[in-house]
């Protein structure tokens, strides 16, 4: 009798999320409760999952310090990991999920009886992306990617009353399926070339052998970069981002974009830096090119947008480019720090968008932000902090994150990329400043804005995190730097 | 000698079916093209000794999934007028040209360079691993790959919840 190798601790966070999703659906069917009750079930599931990631974190740090076995961190027949990198990624995902649900709460309440499905889909998406950040096997990466993405396609189409939401969901679904197919083709070619699905085994393969004609492996790497580049909306695979960010319900967009970015970059960092680090001469120039194109193209296009959501979409393309400089620099922890910090700012920004133009609405013209400072001073102040954080102003967390990845890319010998990145940062600065000027320097139109409490909390947390980690980055930087992959 | 001949025949049939899927104007023909592709790929699986996968391919895909497709096509209506104006002109010919370039490049790589399709096949020749019986597949599926197997359960839950979330919407009567 052969028994599978099971270590529960490694999957308890995902299990918590999945059981939470099941509980939400069953509670809804059985009792049809008020939205707050479902919210409490979700909060319980997220708390349990977070608690288990803390346990995993302690276990991982002990193992690295020599108090435990490093092999204990590789679980389920080497399918899934709980090294520092995976656990930090999981933690960032769970926090983003909690804040994302809070930010979208008004929308979820407004969905009527469909709110249970929406909450379950959010939890399952997070479970999928959580598998993706901690997978050691390329098949598991793909499964996590699909579980997460398919749930996001549905979330993009949740507000059925507007056709833009349907359009966003359909576009996201069609293009996303192609990207996933391209990714899995890349995985298949890597398997053909190395005979391995495991990221750690692929690393040992390339440190043991020199492949004389690696053509098929190179095609595989290229296809995987395309597939994952799509998920993090890096140029030139970003075409879906503006339409989806604009069309999907504002209450969900922040969450959708943030978790996809965290998981996508965690997978990119683990596959490229850890798994294929020995082949970096081959992929570094490609990733550097994508990075430069995303930064410059994203910033330029963001500058000319008349809709704030499209602006945020293009600025997230630019941010994907900035994070990619960290991949070029080989900085796994820098990449993770940047996306974790950016995820909060993104969720906060879309909480503002949802508060200003309605959580289910799809058009969010820049004009609506004119004189926002007089219509709702708190909202404008919080949004300003988040925008400056995204721009990377000193004394915000965005600056620390950018400085980290840029310095790594510089010492990796990619000085030209850092110069391009700094120039693009200046450009991005103009993008964000335009909104700030719009909010403060023009006359108010319309009445005082009614801001929901949930949006206020989200904004306060995100803005506080942006400033605190900007002035005292030590605590999070320490955490991120001990979050290296095996 | 049977193997390469079958391989070439079935690959060509699979390609022809795939082209039919995208090129046919009548969706029923597209579905039939898909059926051809699925069957030919099933034969290719048999050539690789993956009997169970071949059987599953025929039963699940050619049987169940394709029937579902046909149902949907019939429900929507086969004889409806379709708009065939392309928003981007020469889109199809451009795609066909690109496909030709890719095929030519692959052929060039294969025949004129030292390109190696399987550069470092380390595993794979263990005969017990290449026989795709039910047992040979079930064992790894429920031991080494059990987590991947369970993760697909999340996909099914998402499919159910997502279908309800999207279809349960009712426009308020005004």
Percent of chain A whose pLDDT exceeds 90: 68
Rounded CA-CA distance A397/A346 in Å is 13
First to last CA, chain B: 71
Rounded CA-CA distance A402/A396 in Å is 10
Contact of B4 with chain A, judged by CB distance below 8 Å, is answered with no
The residues near B124 (Cβ < 8 Å, ≥ 6 apart) are A195, B130
What are the tokens at A255?
């969450």
Contact of B147 with chain A, judged by CB distance below 8 Å, is answered with yes
Mean pLDDT of chain A: 91
Residues 91-130 of B with CB under 8 A from A: 109, 113-124
Q: Which pLDDT band holds residue A67 (cuts at 50, 70, 90)? A: confident
Please say if the pLDDT value at position A355 is more than 60: yes
Average pLDDT over residues A170-184: 95
Q: Which pLDDT band holds residue B174 (cuts at 50, 70, 90)? A: very low
Distance to chain B for A32, nearest Cα, Å? 15
**Taking the CA of residue A448 as centre, how many other CA atoms within 13 Å lie in the half-sphere pointing to its CB?**
5
Q: What is the pLDDT of residue B119?
A: 63
Q: Which among A11, A154, A213 is the nearest to B165, CB-wise?
A: A154
Average pLDDT over residues A69-85: 86
Q: What is the pLDDT of residue A23?
A: 96
Please say if the pLDDT value at position B122 is more than 60: no
**A143 three-state secondary structure:** helix
Q: What is the pLDDT of residue B82?
A: 64
Please say if the pLDDT value at position A411 is more than 50: yes
Residues 124-143 of B with CB under 8 A from A: 124, 139, 142-143
What are the tokens at B38?
């699925």
Q: Are A117 and B162 inside 8 Å of each other by CB?
A: yes
Q: Are A4 and B124 inside 8 Å of each other by CB?
A: no
Mean pLDDT of chain B: 84
Rounded CA-CA distance A69/A7 in Å is 14
Q: Which among A131, A157, A213 is the nearest to B166, CB-wise?
A: A157
What is the per-residue burial (b if ≥16 Cβ within 10 Å, else e) of A427-438?
A: bbbebbebbbeb
Q: Which among B117, B147, B165 is the nearest to A76, CB-wise?
A: B147
Rounded CA-CA distance B117/A170 in Å is 36
Count of residues making up chain B: 174
Rounded CA-CA distance A292/B135 in Å is 51
Domains and CATH numbers, chain B: 1-84 (1.20.120.1200)
- Sign of the four-CA dihedral A242, A246, A247, A250: positive
Q: Which among B122, B148, B158 is the nearest to A151, CB-wise?
A: B158
Distance to chain A for B79, nearest Cα, Å? 24
Q: Domain locations in chain A?
A: 8-481
Q: Are A161 and B171 inside 8 Å of each other by CB?
A: yes
C-alpha dihedral (A152, A156, A158, A161), degrees to nearest 10: -170
Distance to chain B for A113, nearest Cα, Å? 9
Compute the 3-state secondary structure of chain B and give helix, strand, coil in percent, each to the nearest 5: 70, 0, 30
Q: What is the pLDDT of residue A362?
A: 67
The residues near A239 (Cβ < 8 Å, ≥ 6 apart) are A175
Average pLDDT over residues A40-54: 96
**A446 three-state secondary structure:** coil
Contact of B174 with chain A, judged by CB distance below 8 Å, is answered with no
B84-90: long-range contacts at Cβ-Cβ below 8 A with a sequence spacing of 24 or more?
B84/B25
Percent of chain B whose pLDDT exceeds 90: 38
First to last CA, chain A: 32
Rounded CA-CA distance A57/A10 in Å is 11
């Amino acid at each position: 009798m052969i028994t599978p190798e099971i270590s529960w601790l490694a999957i308890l966070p995902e299990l918590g999320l999945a059981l939470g999703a099941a509980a939400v659906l069953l509670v809804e069917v059985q009792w049809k409760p008020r939205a707050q009750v479902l919210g409490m079930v979700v909060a319980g599931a997220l708390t349990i999952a977070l608690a288990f990631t803390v346990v995993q974190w302690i276990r991982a740090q002990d193992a690295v310090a020599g108090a435990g076995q490093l092999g204990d961190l590789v679980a389920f027949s080497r399918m899934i990991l709980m090294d520092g990198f995976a656990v930090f990624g999981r933690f960032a995902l769970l926090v983003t999920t909690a804040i994302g649900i809070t930010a979208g709460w008004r929308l979820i309440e407004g969905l009527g009886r469909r709110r249970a499905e929406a909450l379950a889909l959010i939890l399952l998406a997070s479970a999928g992306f959580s598998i993706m950040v901690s997978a050691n096997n390329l098949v598991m990466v793909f499964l996590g990617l699909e579980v997460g993405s398919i749930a996001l396609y549905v979330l993009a189409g949740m507000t059925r009353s507007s056709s833009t939401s349907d359009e966003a969901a359909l576009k996201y679904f069609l293009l996303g399926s192609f990207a996933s197919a391209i990714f899995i083709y890349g995985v298949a070619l890597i398997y053909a070339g190395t005979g391995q699905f495991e990221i750690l085994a692929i690393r040992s393969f390339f440190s043991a052998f020199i492949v004389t004609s690696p053509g098929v492996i190179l095609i595989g790497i290229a296809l995987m970069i395309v597939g994952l580049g799509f998920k993090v909306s890096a140029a030139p695979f970003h075409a879906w981002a503006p339409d989806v960010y604009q069309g999907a319900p504002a209450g969900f967009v922040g969450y959708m974009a943030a978790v996809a970015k965290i998981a996508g970059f965690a997978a990119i960092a683990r596959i490229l830096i850890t798994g294929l680090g020995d082949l970096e001469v081959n992929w570094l120039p490609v990733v550097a090119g994508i990075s430069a194109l995303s930064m410059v193209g994203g910033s330029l296009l963001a500058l000319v947008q008349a809709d704030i959501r499209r602006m945020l979409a293009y600025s997230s393309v630019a941010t994907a480019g900035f994070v990619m400089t960290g991949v070029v620099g080989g900085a796994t922890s820098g990449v993770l720090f940047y996306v974790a910090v950016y995820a909060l700012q993104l969720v906060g920004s879309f909480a503002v968008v949802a508060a200003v133009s309605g959580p289910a609405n799809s058009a969010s013209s820049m004009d609506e932000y004119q004189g926002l400072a007089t219509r709702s001073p708190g909202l404008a102040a919080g949004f300003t902090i988040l925008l400056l954080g995204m721009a990377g102003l000193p004394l915000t967390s965005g600056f620390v994150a950018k400085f980290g990845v840029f310095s790594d890319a510089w010492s990796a010998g990619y000085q030209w990329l850092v110069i391009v990145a700094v120039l693009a940062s200046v450009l991005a600065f103009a993008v964000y400043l335009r909104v700030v000027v719009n909010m403060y320097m023009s006359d108010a139109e319309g009445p005082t804005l009614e801001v929901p409490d949930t949006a206020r909390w989200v904004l306060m947390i995100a803005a506080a995190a942006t400033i605190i980690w900007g002035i005292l980055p030590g605590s999070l930087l320490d955490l991120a730097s001990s979050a290296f992959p095996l | 000698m049977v193997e390469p001949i079958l391989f070439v025949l079935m690959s060509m049939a699979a390609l022809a079916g795939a082209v039919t899927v995208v090129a046919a104007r009548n969706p029923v023909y597209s579905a039939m093209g898909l059926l051809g592709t699925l069957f030919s790929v099933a034969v290719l699986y048999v050539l690789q000794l993956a009997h169970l996968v071949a059987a599953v391919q025929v039963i699940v895909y050619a049987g169940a999934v394709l029937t579902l497709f046909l149902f949907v096509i019939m429900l929507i209506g086969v004889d409806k007028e379709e708009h065939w104006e392309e928003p981007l002109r020469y889109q199809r010919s451009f795609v066909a040209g690109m496909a030709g370039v890719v095929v030519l490049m692959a052929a060039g790589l294969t025949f004129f360079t030292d390109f190696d399709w399987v550069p470092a096949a380390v595993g794979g020749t263990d005969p017990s691993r290449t026989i795709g019986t039910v047992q040979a597949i079930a064992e790894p599926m429920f031991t080494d790959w059990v987590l991947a197997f369970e993760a697909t359960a999340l996909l099914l839950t998402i499919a159910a919840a997502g279908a309800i979330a999207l279809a349960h919407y009712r426009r308020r009567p005004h």
